[in-house]
Structure 1
């Protein structure tokens, strides 16, 4: 299983994709699917979409977001 496949499997509530830049691949993004954030989640710092330069950084962002959503 690739690192991307592991990330997708580990965060089923998120759509994960990579942008395209003029000079090649761009940053990685993840957007929540099927969940509208509550006011409490927003106050706790939860985001609908997160971005990172690498998949490892994106995994850390998603881990952090999971904690912020659970703090509702």
Structure 2
């Protein structure tokens, strides 16, 4: 099981939080900190903010985002 602390350590460039709904906890979100996405990254599917229903799923989305970013900007 992935914890919030583990994700924060693995993805330090992201702010991670959980939304709240009227019935309690909601989805997990992550948004990039102090980063501007290039057009090449946008074209590759890189996002500023992502969401998932579970913390484990958010970890997979963040890993996918890292892969997309590396493909779009190999020099960074």
TM-score (norm 1): 0.95
User: Which residue is 2:8 aligned to?
Assistant: 8
Q: Distance in 1 between matches of 2:14 and 2:70?
A: 15
Q: Distance in 1 between matches of 2:8 and 2:71?
A: 22
Q: Deviations over 1:28-64 (max 9, x none)?
A: 0000011100000000000000000000000000000
- Unaligned segments of structure 1, at least 5 residues: none
User: Which residue is 2:67 aligned to?
Assistant: 67
After superposition, the CA RMSD in angstroms is 1.0
Question: Which ranges of 4 or more aligned residues in structure 1 deviate by more than 4 Å?
Answer: none
TM-score (norm 2): 0.90
- Unaligned segments of structure 2, at least 5 residues: none
